[in-house]
């Protein structure tokens, strides 16, 4: 799924089809007359560009030709646009319901004097998650707007020649980091109930497309019954109904908890559950000297230095004949893959006193925690891993000091903390390290906040839904254009579930039909 | 290994059937080839099938002195398998080949004896122009076209070896092709480019029942082992093995036509070629096709004879969409499968049973077909057989169809892992164009998948490779609504003349006329802006749903399903009647234009990326940009030619693309700097050739 998803992220959503039930001519009036040619073809993007957590003000950025429309319909400034680059205090309203969402500062940056070189808009609003969500969703409902892809603001700035040489050098790495954050965020959502629902839709759409394509490419010479299309009609109808219900559902399925995802992982009996209990200052997880005590993921919400953290304790990683434990290990690995930060816990009593040898063993521990496909090329970057050497109370003090001194000089290791959950020794130092990691992560608007992913998913689902209407509209007039609708729908959904290539469709065709031409 | 007696008997039988009517052509060719004085050409094309003939003709059109070498002159332009051209997807390719001034569209119009547009009710983007052909007339047309092509010589012979030397250090590649050596030839024939279109002859084996023999087509000698050796051992090209097959030919008189369903052709046949208004055959003289089906008896015969059928037991990959009757009944048992009986020619006494390709022993083949309604007393004229052959993994080619590691060597057709006449012809044309341009020191040209099915075909081949014989389907083209059969001339003919140099002035002028007329017509329609009530009054039959008093123009009205251009023209004769010639095309344009406009941005983005070429000599492992080892390995293995191709690779991250983009931009700036100091000679040569081409006698 990953490579295709990368591609999905890179490719800007192209077809912003609007849901419209009118006749084809009326729908295309603007494009036909050439009114919306030129600049209006480009899309307008928006994103939360400030961090989350302990911030009083959140900044939402908008860039692209529809910025002015967004500005006027969300602030009621219909007569004239505000003076360029001047802060203006306005009520921010939902363009559809006219409900006041917040009161905040509005800044208007007409092209070319903006970060991206395009017409841009900044909304400075209150930092609460409810306000941010509401504003982002309101922006998504403005025609021609969609959530930005990873690094898209910077990329637009780059294309407009607005970046300095060093910024350009860093662009690739920035996009990499954002893509990674989005990928982890998406993985979290896709592993749940919602993910299963989207996958199911994607599967149904693939079959619909395969069957329409089979009917187009082969039916003249083959025994492909007309009934095939009737089946597609029914599926498309059902899918539309399901999507409509889903999009209208105010609960939006499961509400994901906000916060930086920190996962505790490591071998059995290293003291992972003890660490969780120590950090949340209550016995949230059962601890015992028996290896394999924790079998499922234990999750706790914490506040670390003012930042929201979702801390998960996982089953110890080992090969076990026990079915339940094996499932626990699988879930543990899944969590690590989705985590913003992983605390790798190691029993320090099992480490040799020589720092070099200890480092090799620690690297082995890190590798065993990593998802198998990432090995062995991944570098253990400091911002995604922390090493926690537990049970230092069992070490002679001089050895503890030696490890503490020498391990930080070894390159290729993430930050190392030596603690004892038993005596709480070293805990304060560890909390300082953890706090600074969490703080860095919170500065990134993409980690921890499910709102953005949800807004993005919603935009893609709306496009998908609108594209299915195209199938209905052209079903009896022009099957090529009807198929195009299903294809667009699948492309939109593919931006959530992974891209679907022509070969995959052909595979379904040849599995379902005997093509003998 | 030698021909088994049974194969030999049928082979000679087929030959004697074919020879007589070809005598006149043969003698003309011999005359043409007898004064073969030169030992040097710009381009040598090896093979006279669909790829080879298009390649040779295209190379000559571009301006190269071209030599076509084929084992047997009389089989030039032969239809080795089905007697038909076009279809859904394949018909799109024929229209595009024709738009680039290729042969097969006009040959189809000349030799067609049954024309129909498939998918007539499914929308113009997927209409599939198709024709049954008279084999003999098709061959005659192709042969006489080649004969009258200036700068083209045809030579009968078998290529013993490909001559290869050290590469030109200024161009990427480890080798350079210098010519060929013929089996009987005393001296080598040298050339700057060689196009190999050897079809199924590369290490080909024929299968029937339990006997096998070397060869690529029944009745023809196997090609020399030297060529395969050079490709594999000397040039180090990776190859794979594929299989295909052909059905037995049935004696028409022995078929009970009262038991099969008759399928008549279109009463108003539509020609393939943009240059033709009519086909050669009189519409009423067209022959019908017949439809029958398999029975449980067929399945029984297949199962009972499996142990006698070694082709089916081999594990070389066959096509999923053109399976033998054996694999059809094995994969989908208990079903009725269609069998089409197609005419082979106006005077032919044979029928071609489409869907009955089989490789069992001849006596079992007879038993099998007699289980089919209408064929109870049928006689087999020539039994079916299977072919297994080597193909060169096409990811080793550039989008110009040049072997990346060998300067001047081009491959086209089944040798690249495709199946079908149209796929072969399309590659042949494009390989021929580029072989000529290489020989004449002009830069390579590429067709994008955003502008043509030929581009889709080539991009799929060179960037993804093949795992089974590749066939064109319309579902492979992302921009299907823009790449329609009706507008192939506007997409390709203008470019073919202005940028590629493979289109005659005559065809170009026609395309310009069409383009201008369409533009005029659409401008007239747009100028026709009226209020809804007036439209209703003028066109009372139209169900116009707008209630408000809005202004609507003619283009928008034409988008309505129940409005035709003719209706508009009779309502507004003064401004529209002069455009009636293109009524259908205007209607299609009106309906599709809004959808194409939506695709335009994505198309432009892809084209922009495709225009950023990645140097072929790049060392990805030492490239001073931040790329992961994994990405470097992928890039090194595939060596994408453009940034666009790199974007489509599995495992390439957006970040990697940005890094590459930066690199290409920097490098481009540096090159422009050095460029200014050295005036480019190629451009001068190109201008000169374009001028020469334009002034050619038509």
**pLDDT tens digits, one per residue of A182-224:** 666 666 666 666 778 888 899 999 999 998 998 888 866 555 6
> Quick one: residue A359, left, alpha or beta (phi over 0 = left, psi -120 to 50 = alpha)?
alpha
Q: For chain A, say whether B320 makes contact (Cβ under 8 Å).
A: yes
**Cβ-based contacts of B669 with chain A (< 8 Å):** none
What angle in degrees, to the nearest 10, is found between the helix axes of A2-10 and A479-497? 110
- Tell me the CA distances in angstroms from A282 to A276, A353, B176, one per residue in order: 9, 33, 76
User: Which of B338, B648, B662 comes nearest A222 by C-beta?
Assistant: B338
Minimal C-alpha gap between B269 and chain A (Å): 17
Q: Which helix (H) or strand (E) holds B512?
A: helix B505-527
Spatial distance between the Cα atoms of A481 and B215, rounded to a whole number of angstroms: 45
From residue A513, how far is each of A143, A210, A215, B626 by CA, in Å?
41, 10, 10, 47
Chain A CB contacts of B331 under 8 Å are 514
ipTM over 0.85: no
- The minimal CB distance from A479 to the residues B118, B123, B662 is found for B123
User: Residue B258 — pLDDT band, cuts 50, 70, 90?
Assistant: very high
Residue A255's pLDDT is 44
Q: What is the pLDDT of residues B509-549, one digit of tens each?
A: 999 999 999 999 999 999 999 888 888 888 887 777 666 66
In the predicted model, what is the mean pLDDT of residues B491-517?
A: 96
pLDDT of B641 strictly over 50: yes
The DSSP symbol for B416 reads G
- Cβ within 8 Å, pair A172-B119: no
- Note if the pTM is more than 0.80: no
Instruction: Return the DSSP state at B412.
Output: -
Contact criterion met (CB < 8 Å) for B598 and A480: no
Question: What's the pLDDT at B679?
Answer: 46
Strand order in the sheet with B112-118: B84-86, B128-133, B112-118
Q: Tell me the nearest-neighbour CA distance from A274 into chain B, angstroms.
A: 37
Q: Which residues of chain B are within 8 Å of residue A151 when distances are taken between CB atoms?
A: 654, 658
Orientation angle between helical segments B362-369 and B296-304, nearest 10 degrees: 160
In terms of Cβ atoms closer than 10 Å to its own Cβ (0-12, 13-18, 19+), residue A191 is middle
**Is the model's pLDDT at A168 over the cut of 90?**
no
pLDDT over threshold 50, residue B568: yes
End-to-end CA distance of chain A: 33
Q: Does B450 touch chain A (CB under 8 A)?
A: no
User: Averaged over B101-113, what is the pLDDT?
Assistant: 97
Compute the distance between CA of residue B347 and CA of residue B134 in angstroms, rounded to an integer.
Answer: 8
Is residue A17 within a helix (H) or strand (E), and if so which, with residue range?
none
Q: Would you call B556 and A173 a contact, using CB atoms and an 8 Å cutoff?
A: no
> What's residue A173's pLDDT?
63
Residues B626, A218: C-beta atoms closer than 8 Å: no
Q: Distance between CA B521 and CA B566 in Å, rounded? A: 12
- In this structure, the number of other CB atoms found within 10 A of the CB of residue B555 comes to 26
The residue assigned the tokens 């209607």 is B587
Instruction: Quote the DSSP letter at residue B615.
Output: P
- Segment B103-130 shows an average pLDDT of 95
Would you state the structure tokens that stand for residue A309, as one six-digit string?
């953290």
Range with top average pLDDT, A246-260, A300-314, B234-248, B680-694: B234-248
- List the structure tokens of B509: 């002028």
* Residue A463: exposure state from Cβ atoms within 10 A (0-12, 13-18, ≥19): buried
Neighbours of B181 (CB within 10 A): 16
Separation between Cα atoms, residue A325 and residue A315, nearest integer Å:
8
Nearest to A445 by CA among A180, A58, A131, A122: A58
Cβ within 8 Å of A, B 596-655? 597-602, 605, 625-626, 628-630, 647-648, 650-655
Q: Which of B14, B263, B272, B46 is nearest to B138 (CA)?
A: B272
Q: Report d(CA A452, CA A102) in Å as an integer.
A: 18
Question: How far, rounded to the nearest angstrom, does the alpha carbon of residue B303 sit from its chain's CA centroid?
Answer: 36
Question: Rounded to an integer, what distance in angstroms lies between the CA atom of residue B433 and that of residue B307?
Answer: 47
Cβ-based contacts of B652 with chain A (< 8 Å): 3, 6
Residue in chain A lying closest to B321 (CA): A515
Percent of chain A with pLDDT over 70: 74
CB contact under 8 A, A179 and B473: no
Q: Which residue has the higher pLDDT, B413 or B25?
A: B413
Q: Helices B583-611 & B505-527, crossing angle to 10 degrees?
A: 110
The pLDDT, as a whole number, for residue B511 is 97
* Cα A304–Cα A310–Cα A313 angle in degrees, nearest 5: 110
Nearest to A390 by CA among A345, A452, A356, A325: A345
**Residue A71 pLDDT exceeds 60:** yes
Selecting from A29, A482, A515 the residue whose C-beta is nearest the C-beta of B556 gives: A29
Instruction: Give the distance from CA B333 to its chain's centroid.
Output: 33
Q: Which residues of B, range 466-485, sit inside 8 Å of A by Cβ?
A: 473-476, 478, 480-481
Range with the poorest average pLDDT among A486-495, B65-74, B329-338, B639-648: B639-648
**Which strands sit side by side in the sheet containing B249-251, from one edge to the other?**
B261-263, B289-293, B338-343, B350-354, B249-251, B380-382
Between chains, do A216 and B119 touch, taking CB under 8 Å as contact? Answer: yes
Angstrom CA distances, A426 to A99, B239, B328, stand at: 52, 63, 71
CB contact under 8 A, A168 and B555: no
Above 90 in pLDDT, residue A81?
no
Q: Would you state the pLDDT for residue B17?
A: 33
CA–CA min distance A411, chain B (Å): 20
Rounded to whole angstroms, how far apart are CA atoms B181 and B190? 9
Average pLDDT, chain B: 86
Q: Using DSSP bridges, classify how beta strands B152-156 and B159-165 pair: parallel, antiparallel or unpaired.
A: unpaired
Interacting residues of B605 by C-beta distance below 8 A, sequence separation 6+: A12
Q: B71 with B156: CB under 8 angstroms? A: yes
Q: Cα B315 vs. chain centroid, distance in angstroms?
A: 27
CB B173, CB B405: distance < 8 Å: yes
pLDDT in the model for residue A187: 64
Q: Which of A399-408, B94-103, B129-138, B406-415 has the lowest mean pLDDT?
A: A399-408
| 3 state DSSP class of A83 | coil
User: Rounded CA gap, B597 and B589, in Å?
Assistant: 11
Q: What single DSSP character describes residue A496? A: H
Cβ contact, residue pair B481, A481, below 8 Å: yes
Q: Which two tokens stand for residue A515?
A: 């093509």
CB contact under 8 A, B118 and A15: no
- Dihedral sign, Cα of residue B15, residue B16, residue B21, residue B26: positive
- For position B486, what pLDDT does the model report? 96
Average pLDDT, chain A: 76
Interface of B with A in 526-545 (CB under 8 A): 526, 545
Q: Which residue, chain included where needed, has tokens 């949340």?
A: A280
**Helix segments in B305-361, DSSP class H:** 310-313, 325-331
Question: How far apart are the C-alpha atoms of A18 and A11, rounded to whole Å?
Answer: 19
Residue B47 Rama label (left phi>0; alpha psi -120 to 50; beta): left
Which residues on A lie below 8 Å from B601 (Cβ)?
14, 41-42
Judged on CB neighbours under 10 Å (0-12, 13-18, 19+), B251 is: middle
End-to-end CA distance of chain B: 49
- Phi and psi of A215, rounded to 5°? -65, -35
With beta carbons under 8 A apart, name residues in chain A contacting B602. Answer: 14-15
**Based on the number of CB atoms within 10 Å of its own CB, is A472 exposed (0-12), middle (13-18) or buried (19 or more)?**
middle
User: Is B556 in CB contact (< 8 Å) with chain A?
Assistant: yes
pLDDT band, very low/low/confident/very high, at A14 (cuts 50, 70, 90)? very low
Q: Which pLDDT belongs to residue A176?
A: 63
Which of A33, A81, A42, A38 has the alpha carbon at shortest distance from A65? A42
Closest Cα in chain B to A516: B322
CB pairs under 8 A between A and B: 182
Residue B390 in 3-state DSSP? strand
Q: Is B551 helix (H, G, I), strand (E, B) or coil?
A: strand
The predicted pLDDT at position B95 comes to 98
Q: How many residues does chain B have?
A: 698
CB A115 within 8 A of CB A100: no
Q: Give mean pLDDT, residues B323-333.
A: 85
Q: Which chain A residues contact residue B320 at CB under 8 A?
A: 510, 515
Give the C-alpha distances (Å, rounded to integers) separating A160 from A58, A85, A155, B542: 26, 19, 9, 48
pLDDT at A17 over 70: no
Q: Rounded CA gap, B640 and A107, in Å?
A: 44
- For residue B77, give both structure tokens: 């332009």
Q: Which three-class secondary structure state does DSSP give residue A90?
A: strand
Closest C-alpha among B402, B457, B398, B418 to residue B638? B398
Nearest to B626 among A32, A173, A213 (CB): A173
3-state SS assignment for residue B41: strand
What confidence category does residue A399 fall into, taking pLDDT thresholds of 50, 70 and 90? confident
Contact partners, residue A354, CB within 8 Å, separation at least 6: none
Pairwise CA distance, residues B111 & B135, whole Å: 7
**Confidence bin at B100 (pLDDT 50/70/90):** very high
């Amino acid at each position: 799924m990953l490579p295709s998803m990368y591609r999905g992220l890179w490719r800007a959503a192209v077809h912003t089809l609007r849901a419209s039930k009118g006749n084809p001519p009326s729908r295309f009036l603007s494009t036909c007359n050439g009114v919306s040619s030129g600049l209006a073809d480009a899309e307008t993007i928006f994103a939360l560009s400030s961090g989350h957590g302990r911030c009083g003000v959140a900044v939402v950025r908008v860039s692209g030709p529809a910025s002015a429309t967004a500005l006027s319909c969300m602030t009621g400034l219909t007569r004239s646009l505000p003076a360029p680059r001047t802060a203006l205090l306005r009520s921010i309203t939902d363009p559809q319901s006219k409900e006041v969402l917040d009161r905040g500062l509005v800044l208007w940056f007409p092209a070319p004097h903006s970060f991206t070189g395009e017409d841009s808009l900044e909304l400075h609003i209150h930092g609460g998650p409810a306000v941010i969500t509401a504003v982002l969703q309101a922006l998504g409902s403005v025609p021609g707007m969609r959530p930005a892809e990873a690094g898209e603001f910077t990329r637009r700035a780059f294309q407009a020649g607005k970046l300095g040489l060093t910024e350009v050098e860093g662009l690739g790495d920035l996009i990499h980091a954002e893509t990674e954050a989005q990928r982890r965020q998406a993985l979290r959502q896709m592993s749940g109930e919602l993910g299963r629902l989207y996958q199911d839709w994607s599967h149904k759409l693939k079959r619909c497309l395969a069957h329409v394509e089979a009917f187009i490419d082969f039916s003249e010479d083959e025994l492909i019954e007309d009934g095939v299309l009737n089946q597609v009609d029914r599926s498309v109808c059902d899918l539309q109904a399901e999507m409509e219900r889903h999009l209208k559902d105010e609960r939006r399925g499961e509400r994901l908890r906000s916060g930086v995802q920190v996962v505790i992982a490591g071998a059995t009996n290293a003291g992972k559950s003890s660490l969780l209990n120590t950090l949340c200052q209550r016995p949230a997880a059962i601890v015992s000297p028996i290896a394999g005590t924790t079998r499922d993921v234990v999750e706790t919400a914490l506040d670390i230095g003012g930042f929201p953290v979702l801390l998960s304790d996982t089953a110890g990683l080992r090969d076990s004949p026990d079915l339940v434990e094996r499932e626990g290990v699988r879930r543990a690995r899944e969590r690590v893959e989705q985590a913003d930060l992983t605390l790798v816990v190691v029993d320090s009593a099992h480490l040799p006193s020589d720092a070099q040898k200890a480092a090799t063993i620690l690297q082995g521990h890190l590798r065993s925690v990593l998802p198998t496909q990432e090995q062995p090329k991944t570098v253990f970057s400091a911002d995604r891993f922390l090493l926690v050497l537990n049970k230092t109370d069992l070490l002679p003090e001089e050895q503890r000091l030696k490890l503490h001194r020498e391990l930080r000089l070894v390159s290729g290791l993430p930050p190392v903390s030596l603690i004892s959950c038993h005596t709480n020794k070293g805990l304060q130092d560890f909390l300082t390290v953890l706090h600074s990691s969490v703080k860095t992560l919170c500065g990134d608007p993409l980690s921890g906040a499910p709102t953005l992913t949800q807004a993005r998913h919603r935009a893609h689902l709306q496009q998908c839904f609108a594209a299915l209407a195209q199938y209905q509209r052209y079903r009896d007039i022009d099957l090529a254009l009807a198929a195009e609708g299903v294809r667009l729908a699948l492309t939109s959904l593919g931006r959530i579930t992974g891209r679907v290539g022509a070969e995959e469709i052909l595979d379904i065709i040849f599995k379902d039909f005997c093509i003998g031409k | 290994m030698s021909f088994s007696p049974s194969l030999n008997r049928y082979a000679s039988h087929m030959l004697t059937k074919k020879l007589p009517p070809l005598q006149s052509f043969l003698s003309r060719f011999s005359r043409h080839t007898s004064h073969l004085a030169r030992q040097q050409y710009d381009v040598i094309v090896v093979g006279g099938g669909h790829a080879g003939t298009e390649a040779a003709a295209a190379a000559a059109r571009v301006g190269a002195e071209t030599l076509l070498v084929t084992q047997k002159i009389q089989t030039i332009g032969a239809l080795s398998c089905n007697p038909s051209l076009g279809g859904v997807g394949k018909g799109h390719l024929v229209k595009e080949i024709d738009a680039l001034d290729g042969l097969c569209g006009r040959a189809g119009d000349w030799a067609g004896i049954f024309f129909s547009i498939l998918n007539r009710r499914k929308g113009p983007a997927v209409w599939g122009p198709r024709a049954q052909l008279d084999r003999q007339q098709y061959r005659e047309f192709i042969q006489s076209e080649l004969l009258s092509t200036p700068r083209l010589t045809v030579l009968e012979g078998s290529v013993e070896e490909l001559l290869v030397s050290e590469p030109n250090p200024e161009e990427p590649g480890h080798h350079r092709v210098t010519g060929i050596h013929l089996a009987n030839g005393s001296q080598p024939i040298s050339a700057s480019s060689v196009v190999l279109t050897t079809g199924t002859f590369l290490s080909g084996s024929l299968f029937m029942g339990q006997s096998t023999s070397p060869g690529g087509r029944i009745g023809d000698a196997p090609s020399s082992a030297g060529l395969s050796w050079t490709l594999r051992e000397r040039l180090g090209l990776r190859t794979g093995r594929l299989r295909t097959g052909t059905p037995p030919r049935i004696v028409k008189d022995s078929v009970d036509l009262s038991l099969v369903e008759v399928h008549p052709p279109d009463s108003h046949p539509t020609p393939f070629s943009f240059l033709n208004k009519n086909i050669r055959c009189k519409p009423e003289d067209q022959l019908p096709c017949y439809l029958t089906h398999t029975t449980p008896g067929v399945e029984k015969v297949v199962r009972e004879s499996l142990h006698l059928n070694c082709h089916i037991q081999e594990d070389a990959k066959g096509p999923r969409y053109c399976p033998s009757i054996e694999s059809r009944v094995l994969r989908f048992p208990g079903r009725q499968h269609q069998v089409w009986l197609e005419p082979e020619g106006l005077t032919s006494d044979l029928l071609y049973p489409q869907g009955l390709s089989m490789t069992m022993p001849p006596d079992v083949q007879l038993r099998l077909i007699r289980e089919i309604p209408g064929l109870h007393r049928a006689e087999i004229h020539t039994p079916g057989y299977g072919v297994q052959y080597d193909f060169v993994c096409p990811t080793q080619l550039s989008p110009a169809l040049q072997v990346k590691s060998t300067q001047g060597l081009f491959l086209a057709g089944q040798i690249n892992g495709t199946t079908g006449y149209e796929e072969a012809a399309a590659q042949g044309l494009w390989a021929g164009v580029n072989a000529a341009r290489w020989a004449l020191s002009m830069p390579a040209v590429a067709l994008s998948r955003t502008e043509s099915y030929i581009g889709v075909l080539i991009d799929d081949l060179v960037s993804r490779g093949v795992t089974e014989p590749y066939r064109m389907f319309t579902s492979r083209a992302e921009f299907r609504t823009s790449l329609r059969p009706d507008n192939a001339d506007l997409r390709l003919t203008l470019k073919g003349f202005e940028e590629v140099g493979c289109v005659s002035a005559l065809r170009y002028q026609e395309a310009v006329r069409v383009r201008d007329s369409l533009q005029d017509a659409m401008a007239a329609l747009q100028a026709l802006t009226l209020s809804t009530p007036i439209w209703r009054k003028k066109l009372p039959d139209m169900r116009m749903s707008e209630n408000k008093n809005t202004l609507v123009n003619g283009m928008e009205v034409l988008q309505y399903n129940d409005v035709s251009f003719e209706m508009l023209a009779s309502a507004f004769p003064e401004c529209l009647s002069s455009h009636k010639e293109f009524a259908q095309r205007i209607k299609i344009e009106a309906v599709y234009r809004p959808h194409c406009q939506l695709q335009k941005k994505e198309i432009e983005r892809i084209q922009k990326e495709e225009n950023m070429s990645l140097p072929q000599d790049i060392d990805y492992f030492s490239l001073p940009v931040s790329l992961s080892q994994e990405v470097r390995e992928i890039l090194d293995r595939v060596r994408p030619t453009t940034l666009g191709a790199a974007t489509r690779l599995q495992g390439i991250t957006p970040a990697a693309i940005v890094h590459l983009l930066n690199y290409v931009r920097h490098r481009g700036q540096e090159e422009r700097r050095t460029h200014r100091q050295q005036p480019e000679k190629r451009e001068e040569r190109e201008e000169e050739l374009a001028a020469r081409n334009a002034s050619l006698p038509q």
